[in-house]
């Protein structure tokens, strides 16, 4: 294992400390229990958005704390769910009188611990469960579909709505709606290496790829020989479009996400292949995002996410945001 590490059991604390120091203008990092929060309280009362999950997917979720997105994020140990006391502490720190909305990826440990954390609160709360991965219905850590790169899109659009003073119910319903019209699927060329394990999570041949891989290295739909970029993209897009069933002339957001070990040059090539397929199907790419946003440590590979757009989603995607990982309009 070759990584920038001092002591394996201190990697999260040291990383969070560095993250807080690098972005001290917009956020603060609290330790024991760990959470990341906006540095400044909102000027007006609003629904407070809190997300979180195992570390190793950066910038998800801490990188999306700030104006127009999350109020707080709770990082667990690498690929491990945060503990209920983290959610309780974060909620009590950031609430401003209109309730707490938890945004949770559909993994069994995350669901259970966020539910326990919510039960410890004396605050009104709701939960959005994100399950945008079209690859498999049930997986290693999941009952039902997994939550992957579409989580960021839910956080951005619902975060924007919350800034307008919308109610807890309105934010919850909007998030569920965005999740429902978002589909993702990914492919891995290599495994990731969890620092505590010190070796790759799974073995894969030099000429193989895991099609439909999860962001923790969970098995996908199949293991097969590596194909050309246009062949890989065609398979991914067939699965996603088959799930979303967009209409003719549908506007979409096309998000190409890297898993941490793939160069941007390849991610933009993937974007180009995906857009050609959408153009051929009379589907209009009117919003786009390319980069490493929902990673899997050092895994080589990436995913495609498509969200069907309407006026309301476009409004809240385009609205100002200021976080460590996303910033525009400010």
Which region holds residue 204: left if phi is over 0, alpha if psi is between -120 and 50, else beta?
beta
**Residues 23, 95, 125, 216: which is the catalytic one?**
216
Provide the token pair at 120: 């410890």
- Locus of tokens 């996400």: 257
Q: What is the pLDDT of residue 140?
A: 66
H/E segment holding residue 85 = helix 84-94
**pLDDT the model gives residue 265:** 98
The reported pLDDT for the residue numbered 142 is 60
Q: Full-prediction pTM beyond 0.85?
A: yes
Q: Tell me the pLDDT tens digit for each residue of 309-330.
A: 999 999 999 999 999 999 999 9
Cα separation, 260 vs 55, in Å, equals 13
Low-confidence ranges of the chain (pLDDT < 50): none
Does residue 12 contact residue 75 with C-beta atoms inside 8 Å? yes
Residue 185 class from Cβ within 10 Å (0-12 exposed, 13-18 middle, 19+ buried)?
buried
- Sorted by where each starts, the structural domains of the chain and their CATH numbers stand as 17-181 (3.40.50.10440), 182-317 (3.30.1180.20)
57 annotated active-site: yes
Identify whether 216 is a catalytic site residue: yes
Note the pLDDT of residue 220. 87
The active-site residue, picked from 23, 57, 95, 125, is 57
Q: Are the CB atoms for 59 and 293 separated by under 8 Å?
A: yes
Percent of the chain with pLDDT over 90: 94
pLDDT, residue 137, reads 74
């Amino acid at each position: 294992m070759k990584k920038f590490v001092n002591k394996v059991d201190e990697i999260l604390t040291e990383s969070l400390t560095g993250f807080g120091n690098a972005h001290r203008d917009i956020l603060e990092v609290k330790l024991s229990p760990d959470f990341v929060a906006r540095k400044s309280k909102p000027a007006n009362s609003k629904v407070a958005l809190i997300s979180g999950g195992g570390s190793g997917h950066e910038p998800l979720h801490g990188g999306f704390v700030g104006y127009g997105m999350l109020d707080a994020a709770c990082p667990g140990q690498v690929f491990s769910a945060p503990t209920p006391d983290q959610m309780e502490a974060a909620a009590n720190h950031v609430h401003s009188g209109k309730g707490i909305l938890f945004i949770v990826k559909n993994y069994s440990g995350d669901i259970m611990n966020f539910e326990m954390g919510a039960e410890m609160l004396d605050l009104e709360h709701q939960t959005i469960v994100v399950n945008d991965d079209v690859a498999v219905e049930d997986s290693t850590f999941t009952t039902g579909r997994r939550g992957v790169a579409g989580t960021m899109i839910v956080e951005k659009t619902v975060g924007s709505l919350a800034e307008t003073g919308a109610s807890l119910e309105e934010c919850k319903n909007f998030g569920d709606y965005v999740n429902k019209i978002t589909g993702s699927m990914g492919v891995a060329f290599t495994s990731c290496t969890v620092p505590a394990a010190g070796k790759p999570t799974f073995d894969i041949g030099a000429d193989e790829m895991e099609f439909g891989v999860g962001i923790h290295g969970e098995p996908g739909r199949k293991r097969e020989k590596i194909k050309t970029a246009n062949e890989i993209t065609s398979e991914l897009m067939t699965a996603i479009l088959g799930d979303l069933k967009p209409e003719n002339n549908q506007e979409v957001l096309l998000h190409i996400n890297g898993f941490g070990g793939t160069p941007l040059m390849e991610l933009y090539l993937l974007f180009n292949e995906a857009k050609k397929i959408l153009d051929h199907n009379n589907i209009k790419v009117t919003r786009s995002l390319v980069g490493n946003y929902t990673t899997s440590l050092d895994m080589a590979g990436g995913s495609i996410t498509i969200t069907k757009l309407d006026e309301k989603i476009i409004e809240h995607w385009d609205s100002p945001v200021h976080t460590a990982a996303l910033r525009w309009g400010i």
